[in-house]
Chains A and B, each alone.
Chain A
Amino acid sequence: MYAVEVENISKSFEKVEALKNISFNVKSGSLFGFIGPDGAGKTTLFRILVTLLKQNTGTAKIQGLNNITDYKKIRSIVGYMPGKFSLYQDLSVEENLRFFATVFGTTVENNYHLIKDIYSQIEPFKTRLAGKLSGGMKQKLALSCAMIHKPEVLFLDEPTTGVDAVSRKEFWEMLKVLKNSGITILVSTPYMDEAELCDEVALIQDGKILKIETPQNIIGAYEKNLYAVKSTNMFKLIADLRSFEFSESVFPFGQFIHYTDKRDQINENDLINYLAQKDHKNIVLQKITPNIEDCFMSYLNK
C-alpha cells in the first residue's frame, strides 16, 4: 500500500524546467527522504504534492486521492511545513499553535497527545513571540503546527536548514517517533548525512531523480574502491592526485581527500611512493567505505 504515488510528473516555470518526468512511490508509514542541493526541484515537487501547484504532465496521488481533482480532500489529510518556517512571528508560541488548530477545525487539547513529545520542549516558552525563538525552537513549533490536525501524510520541506546540529539531531529523533505512530513522512534536505536516517531516499538533482533506494543499498551499490588520502599540504595534494596517471576522481572531503582509481586493483604503495616523490609529508592512505555523498557524486559524474 502506497501513501504517495507519483507518475511521470513534469513541471516548468517560465524559463526553467523544474521537474523532469519524475516517478516514485512512498510506502505507507515510511520515512522517505529527498536528498539534493538547493534548486534541485524539491520544493516544487512538495508544492505539487500538497496541491499548491499543478504539474504540467503526469499524475500524483496522495492516499489514493488525485492531487488536482481531489485537492480539497487532500488538504485536510496532509500536514505541510514549508521551507521557511511559516509561523506568525508576531504571535506567541501558544497563539500560533491555537491558530493552526482552529484553522484545521480542531483544538490543541484534542490532539495534544500527538505533539506532546515535541511541544513539551518548547512549552516553557509558550508566551514568547515566535519571531524571538531560536532556529531549533522555531522548527519544533512549526512541526507541532503541521501535526496538530493529525495528518495522515506529513510533508516537511527542508526542516533542518539553518538549524544547529543538536536541534537537527533531536528533530530526526522526533521524526522516528512520529513514524512509529503510523504517519507517512516525506522530508527533503540538502544535507547528505541525513539520508542515512530515512527508510528510503531519492537522490535528486536538476529536476531529475538519480536513484531511489534504501540508504544501505545505495552505499552497497558503490562499485569502486574508495581511498581517503591526507598529507600536510592539502592544496598541493589535490593537484598531485589529479595528475597521477591512474587517477579517476579526486574530491576534498573534510580532513581528507577521497580518491578513486581507474584500475580495479591498486597497489597502495605505488600511490604512496608517488606522493612521497612529490614532497608530501605525513602521508595517510586508507581504504574507506563510501557515504551517501560519495555515492551522490558518483551518480552525478555518470
Chain B
Amino acid sequence: MQEETENIIYVRDLVKKFGNFVANDHLSFEVKKGEIFGFLGANGAGKTTTIRILCGLSSPTSGEIKVAGFDAFKETEKIKRNIGYMSQKFSLYEDLTVTENIRFYGGIYGISRKEIKVRTQILLEKLKFEEVKNTLIKDLPLGWRQKLAFSVAIFHQPKIVFLDEPTGGVDPITRRQFWEMIYEEAHNGMTIFVTTHYMDEAEYCDRISIMVEGKIAALDTPLNLMKEYETKNMEGVFLKLARNIE
C-alpha cells in the first residue's frame, strides 16, 4: 500500500558544503504526498540549509533531490511555484489589512484578480474573519494571525507547504485549531513539512526526522521513536540523540 504512494519529496545523498564545512552530510529521505513530516534538529544542526535547498533558494553540492517532481539543481523556479512557506517570525505585513495581505500574496503567485476575490471570500468565511477583513494585522490577536498566515501560505494551493515553528508561543486552544487546519489540508492531499525545535509540536507529525551535526540521526513515527529510545515523549528522544554526541 504505502509503496504506491507518491513521493513528493525525494532526497538521495544530499551533500551541501560551505568551503570545508559540511552542513548536510549525505542526507537521504522521502516525504509522501499528504504526509505531515517533522524535521527537527538542534540549533546549528543543518536544518536551515536543507530547507533552503528544498525550497529552491540554495543549490546543493551533490545528490539527487526532487521536490514536487522538480529537480533541485535546475528547476528551482518551478519548485518555488509549487511550494508555500510560513514562518512564525515573518509572514504577514503588519501595516496592511487582512484582505490586502491576501491580495498581495495572491498577486505574487499570478492568480487573477477575479480568482483572488472569489477565494478571499471563501477563506474569510472559513476562518470566520469577515468582521476583521479590513483590520490591520497588527491589531489582530497572535493566534488569529497564525491562522491567517497559514491560509495565505497555501492560498495558491501549493503541493507542499513548509512551516517554520508555526505554533510556538500561541495559546493552547488556538494552537489546536491551527493543527486541525493542518490536518485538514494534509487530509486533502497537501504535504506539510514542519521544522521546529519544540518537541511537543513535533508530536503532531506523522513522521519525524531528527538531524544531528549534518546527518539524519533518526527517522520514524513519533511513537516508534519513543519506543525505540524508551522515553515517554519526543523530548526524551531528542535529548538522548543530541546529548550522545557531546
**Residues of A participating in the B interface, judged by any CB pair closer than 8 Å:** 15, 36-40, 134-136, 161-167, 169, 190-193, 205, 233-236, 238, 251-255, 293, 296-297, 300-301
What are 24 A-B contacts defined by CB distance under 8 Å?
A: A36-B171, A37-B142, A37-B170, A37-B172, A38-B170, A39-B142, A164-B242, A165-B198, A165-B242, A166-B239, A167-B42, A169-B239, A193-B200, A193-B235, A235-B186, A238-B180, A251-B176, A252-B179, A254-B234, A293-B172, A296-B172, A297-B173, A300-B172, A300-B173
Chain B residues whose CB sits within 8 angstroms of the CB of A253 once the complex forms: 176, 203
Q: How far is the CA of A37 from the CA of B171 in the complex (A)?
A: 5
Additional pairs, 19, CB under 8 Å, beyond known A165-B239, A255-B204, A255-B223:
A37-B142, A37-B170, A40-B171, A163-B43, A164-B41, A164-B242, A165-B42, A166-B243, A167-B42, A167-B43, A191-B198, A233-B187, A234-B183, A235-B184, A252-B204, A253-B176, A254-B203, A297-B172, A300-B173
Q: Do A37 and B42 have beta carbons less than 8 Å apart?
A: no
Q: Do B44 and A134 have beta carbons less than 8 Å apart?
A: yes
B133 to chain A, nearest CB (A): 19
Interface of B is mostly: helix
Chain A residues whose CB sits within 8 angstroms of the CB of B139 once the complex forms: 15
B70 within 8 A of A: no
Interface of A is mostly: mixed
Chain B residues whose CB sits within 8 angstroms of the CB of A191 once the complex forms: 198, 200
Q: Do B222 and A235 have beta carbons less than 8 Å apart?
A: no
B19 within 8 A of A: no
Question: Contacts A235-B183, A252-B179 hold; do A166 and B169 have CB atoms under 8 A apart?
Answer: no
Question: Contacts A37-B172, A254-B204 hold; do A135 and B183 have CB atoms under 8 A apart?
Answer: no
Indicate which residue in B170, B180, B186, B235 contacts A165 across the interface (CB closer than 8 Å).
Answer: B235
Q: Which residue of B lies closest to A254 (CB)?
A: B203
B224 to chain A, nearest CB (A): 10
Question: Contacts A235-B184, A235-B187 hold; do A165 and B243 have CB atoms under 8 A apart?
Answer: no
Q: Do A252 and B176 have beta carbons less than 8 Å apart?
A: yes
A161 to chain B, nearest CB (A): 7
Q: State the 9 A-B residue pairs at the shortest beta-carbon distance, nearest first.
A: A254-B203, A37-B171, A38-B169, A235-B187, A235-B183, A190-B169, A164-B42, A164-B197, A134-B43
